[in-house]
Amino acid sequence: MKKKNKQHKETMQNNRNKMTDNKETNNNPENINDIITDIDSDVDSKNYTLENGNDPVPNSDNNAQSVRVVEEKLAEMQDKYIRLSAEFDNYRKRTLREKMDLSKYAGESLLLNLIPIIDDFERALKHMDSATDSAALKSGIDLIYVKFSEFLKQNGVKEIEALNTNFNVDIHEAVAKTQVQEDDKKGKVVDVLQKGYYLQDKVLRFAKVVVGE
């Protein structure tokens, strides 16, 4: 019985020693420092710092770098916007000036081709007083008329057919009506007081006509 009590006491003492050894190991400053060092190393590797023992926040150097990058991008975009705005303004002014010039000088080529006909008329007028051959003078006037008619055709101007055609309000303007004996002339143009003209497919001037009834 005494032997068993002694063994029991030795076992209890061994257990107390083991517990003491475990406490000393856990409270060893060297082990705690190693753990702290490992934690600091891990935080530094991720560019994070601890503030007041709270959650990690981004490094202030990285924040400053990010701000600089954003500012540079913003400055670049503003520069592009200013350049684009200036280019558009120049384009608008240039287009407006071209439109004004086009409107101002739109008939330049037309008038340039008309000048030679005016020259022919001036030469004919000079010879009218001294001309003794009326037939030659008439022939010259006819040539000028033909030349002028060809000029109009080349520029898309053509005469509206009116005489002996059915009256058409889209191209004719009735200025008078007259009684006709023939039935086939009723509702038709029997006389043209002023010729009408097309410009391409558009009526440039209505033909003024007399309609039979």
What is the pLDDT, as a whole number, of residue 124? 84
DSSP 170: T
User: Cα–Cα distance between 37 and 29 in angstroms, integer?
Assistant: 12
What is the pLDDT, as a whole number, of residue 172? 94
Looking at CATH, the fold of the domain delimited by 157-213 is given as Nucleotide Exchange Factor Grpe; Chain A, domain 2 (2.30.22)
Residue 173 near residue 206 (C-beta atoms within 8 A): yes
What is the pLDDT, as a whole number, of residue 189? 93
164 Ramachandran zone, left/alpha/beta (phi>0; psi -120 to 50): left
Q: Which two tokens stand for residue 41?
A: 């190393």
Domain boundaries, the chain: 2-58, 59-106, 107-155, 157-213
> Using alpha carbons only, what angle is made at residue 180 by residues 179 and 182, rounded to the nearest 5 degrees?
155
What is the pLDDT, as a whole number, of residue 26? 45
Question: The pTM is what?
Answer: 0.52
Render each residue's pLDDT in the chain as its tens digit; 213 residues.
444 445 545 655 555 555 455 444 444 444 555 554 554 555 455 444 444 444 544 556 778 888 888 888 998 899 899 999 999 999 999 999 888 888 787 778 888 888 988 898 888 888 877 777 778 888 888 899 999 999 999 889 999 999 999 999 999 999 999 998 888 888 899 999 999 999 988 999 999 999 998
Look-up of token digits 């303007």: 173
What is the pLDDT, as a whole number, of residue 204? 93
Question: SS3 of 206, please?
Answer: coil
**Cα dihedral 161/162/168/170 (nearest 10):** 50
